[in-house]
Amino acid sequence: MKLLSNFAASPHRVTDLQLLRDADVHTAGALLAACPVMLADAGEIVSDAHRPRLTIVLRGALAVQADGDAPGRPSTVAAKILPGESVGEQSVLDDEPDPAVLTALEPSELLLVSADVAWRLIEESDGVARNLLRLLSFRVRAANVQLRKRQKLGEFYRQLSMNDGLTGLHNRAWLNDMLPRLVGTALQTHRPLSLVMLDIDHFKHFNDRYGHPQGDQALRTAAQVLAGALRPTDYAVRYGGEEMMVILPDTCGSVAAAVGQRLCERMRLAAVFMDATPLPHITASFGVASLQPGQDEQALVATADAALYRAKAAGRDRVEVDASAATSFPTATAAA
């Protein structure tokens, strides 16, 4: 930056400065008189990372870049400071250098006000203090709005990362997070919990014969069958490839076996359409298991998976219920 003059010798007036709008012009003018007016070139960084100070734009414009931007990444402009506006108030108030990076967006004239002078301006005029409070309150409000937007966006991406893009079911990442919690809750509360694992039959053949997009459509149909047949408290997960899982909290083995049967029948009957063209029906094989005392989620999944492969070996399009479902974890009532 190049020194142009001090404020007293510049053509700018106290009344042009928003922060000093309600200040006594003579007192404020006297306090600002010796403050330097600098000329910054377009693109020049004008922030001072070592000293708190107020920077007031007299001509041109400044970009404020958030301090949280990762190095090497294009920075995001958090705010634009126009003639009459100031930046750095908070750094003056808490006596900490401002970590935000200020860049001149065009050739700009800037009034630099040290923390000492800024404090004297505040002490001399209630109007300046009031303007400052209004400004800070506005900024806090704007920051809160930004924060809420980011939180919403974060939640949106979190949801997205927990769902399978093809079927819309929960995905493996969701399962890895949730199943241990569901199992833990069931064990702690002595409530039953059952799993149904299913795998579409001869799906390689389906893909080879009708094409991968048609296979994708069959997977979507299978997911719809699951989603349409479950209670709101149940969960359907795409476990991987053409294998899916249904988690049934608070459900004993005999009920889970009936759910498996119902899903098996609905899968067999479900029509698969690709652009209004009907494709052959699909079937799936199912394995049902129920949580046992002392069992962890991995053992439970392995038990349901083993039952599923017995269903495959027995001819597919059927439900195999593991012995654990017959002796399912006692409900609170049964345990009492």
Ligand X SMILES: Nc1nc2c(ncn2[C@@H]2O[C@H](COP(=O)(O)OP(=O)(O)OP(=O)(O)O)[C@@H](O)[C@H]2O)c(=O)[nH]1
Q: How far is the C-alpha of 267 from the C-alpha of 285, rounded, in Å?
A: 10
Binding residue for ligand X, selected from 89, 98, 242, 305, defined by CB under 6 A: 242
Number of residues that bind ligand X (CB under 6 A): 17
186, 329 in Cβ contact below 8 A?
yes
Q: Cβ closer to ligand X: 154 or 211?
A: 211
Q: By rule CB under 6 A, what string of x and - marks binding of each residue 247-266 to ligand X?
A: --------------------
Q: How far is the C-alpha of 150 from the C-alpha of 68, rounded, in Å?
A: 14
* By the rule CB under 6 A, 52 interacts with ligand X: no
Q: Cβ closer to ligand X: 139 or 316?
A: 316
Q: By rule CB under 6 A, what string of x and - marks binding of each residue 199-218 to ligand X?
A: xxxxxxx-x----x--xx--
> Which residues, numbered 300-329, are part of the site for ligand X (CB under 6 A)?
312, 316
Torsion angle of the four alpha carbons 99, 100, 103, 104, in this order, in degrees rounded to the nearest 10: -110
| Distance of closest approach, residue 90 Cβ to ligand X, in angstroms | 52
* By the rule CB under 6 A, 241 interacts with ligand X: yes
DSSP, collapsed to helix, strand or coil, labels residue 327 as coil
269 token code pair: 């009957």
Distances (CA, A) of 58 to 44, 85, 86, 146: 16, 8, 9, 28
Which of 262, 312, 263, 257 shows the shortest CA–CA distance to 288? 257
List, in order, residues 6 or more apart from 279 with CB less than 8 Å away. Answer: 210, 214, 217, 218, 272, 273
12 token code pair: 């700018």
Catalytic-labelled residue, pool 109, 242, 297, 320: 242
| Distance of closest approach, residue 212 Cβ to ligand X, in angstroms | 4
Q: Cβ closer to ligand X: 53 or 238?
A: 238
Amino acid at 270: A
* By the rule CB under 6 A, 287 interacts with ligand X: no
Q: Cβ closer to ligand X: 69 or 216?
A: 216
* By the rule CB under 6 A, 219 interacts with ligand X: yes
250 token code pair: 């608070």
* By the rule CB under 6 A, 13 interacts with ligand X: no
| Distance of closest approach, residue 266 Cβ to ligand X, in angstroms | 18
Helix (H) or strand (E) holding 246: strand 243-249
Q: Cβ closer to ligand X: 146 or 277?
A: 277
> How far is C-alpha 240 from the geometric centre of its chain's CA atoms?
24
Which of 262, 52, 224, 24 shows the shortest CA–CA distance to 128? 24
Q: Cβ closer to ligand X: 98 or 199?
A: 199
| Distance of closest approach, residue 201 Cβ to ligand X, in angstroms | 4
Question: E-strand spans in 42-140?
Answer: 53-59, 62-65, 77-81, 86-87, 101-104, 108-114
Classify strands 193-200 and 235-240 as parallel, antiparallel or unpaired.
unpaired
Residue nearest to ligand X (CB): 215
| Distance of closest approach, residue 271 Cβ to ligand X, in angstroms | 18
Q: Cβ closer to ligand X: 199 or 305?
A: 199
Q: How far is the C-alpha of 329 from the C-alpha of 193, rounded, in Å?
A: 8
Binding residue for ligand X, selected from 82, 166, 323, 332, defined by CB under 6 A: 166
Task: Give catalytic status of residue 123 as yes or no.
Answer: no
Of 42-50, 96-104, 198-206, 274-282, which segment contacts ligand X by CB under 6 A?
A: 198-206
Residues found near ligand X in the complex (CB under 6 A)? 166, 199-205, 207, 212, 215-216, 219, 241-242, 312, 316
Please list the active-site residues. 242
